[in-house]
Amino acid sequence: MSLVVQIVSIIAPLFVIAGIGYAWGRSGKPFDTTLVGMLTLNFGVPALIFSTLTKLDVSPAEFGEIFGIFGIFLAANLIIGAILLKMFRLEIGAFLPALSFPNNGNMGLPLCLFAFGDVGLALGISVFVLMSTANVTIGFACASGKWSLISMLKTPFIWIIAAALIFMCTETAPPRWVANTAEIIGGMSIPLMLVALGVSLSRLEVSDFKKSFWLSFVRLFIGFGLGVLLAELFELQGVARGVLILQCAMPTAVMNYLLAARFDREANGVAGIVVVSTFMSLATLPFLMLFVLQG
């Protein structure tokens, strides 16, 4: 019974906060998704990354291990996704990011925090940084048809993580006013991401449920399978194992829809994958948490 209570305590905040966003979106009340997204991605999340990594006892080796393993996951995901899309004659530029880049931010970070505490959040951030960087580079290249190094260099995550790693490696604490400011600004990230996720789910529509269902199944099944396989291959234990599997098994990120809409690449189809994969993930989340926590 204690395990059931633990799982409920982990997933209930996610359902409640995302549910608030969903209800707000369905009510028709104004919600500036672009403004909230820009505030979160440009200020809130970078501050959360800096604050988490500079105040926790997480070694660069632990951080780098998860970072590297998730890099293998992304590479395998891209290859498998491209092969499957080619087999089913679907547009690779439109659907490959949706199959490859999971929602490690809006859903992944809160789950890592609620399930494994601050250490879980720190390791989850290492995954989120890599996925976000890949999304704005590889994802941008798939959607636009061209590679952009400038987009990667403009990503705040890269510079923030570099600064945080300097403090971590030198075992130096940042100035108190910097730490306090980062903690306060970073504190808004997770609630805003969950509310924005709920609003997005209320506004996106599914145009082809059958295709959306099967592509969503592929995203979740491959993600979970690769996560478990890599955890076994690299003999991960405890928090590291749980964080990797959780982050690999997340549904399609909303960012994939934004890129598809921006470049007019099957935006309705990608929106369907975002919605269906998220609801499928929410329905199976208790079983995923049971598997992770028991392991």
Which of the four pLDDT bands, split at 50, 70 and 90, describes residue 3? confident
Selection from 230, 6, 18 nearest residue 115 by Cα = 6
Q: What is the DSSP letter of 102?
A: B
Q: Residue written as tokens 């999340």?
A: 45
User: Which residues have C-beta within 8 Å of that of residue 199, sequence separation ≥ 6?
Assistant: 21, 22, 24, 25, 31, 33
Each residue's pLDDT tens digit, 15-68:
899 899 999 999 988 988 778 877 887 788 888 888 887 877 677 788 889 999
Tokens encoding 244: 């990797």
pLDDT of residue 152: 62
Dump pLDDT digits (tens) for 198-252: 888 888 888 888 999 999 999 999 999 999 999 999 999 999 999 999 999 999 9
Q: For residue range 187-205, what is the model confidence (pLDDT) as tens digits?
A: 888 888 888 888 888 888 8
CATH 1.20.1530.20 corresponds to the domain 2-294: yes
Please give the pLDDT value at position 283.
92
Q: Could you state, in order of their start, the residue ranges of all structural domains in the chain?
A: 2-294
Contacts of 134 (CB under 8 A, 6+ apart): 74, 100, 101
Q: Which residues of 52-73 are buried (b: 16+ CB within 10 A; e: fewer)?
A: bbbbbebeeebbebbbebbeeb
Kindly report which listed range (92-101, 130-139, 144-153, 180-189) carries the lowest average pLDDT score.
144-153
| pLDDT tens, position by position, 135-168 | 777 887 887 777 666 666 666 667 877 888 788 7
Residues in the chain: 295
> In whole angstroms, what is the distance from residue 65 CA to residue 218 CA?
26
pLDDT at residue 148, as a whole number: 63
End-to-end CA distance of the chain: 17
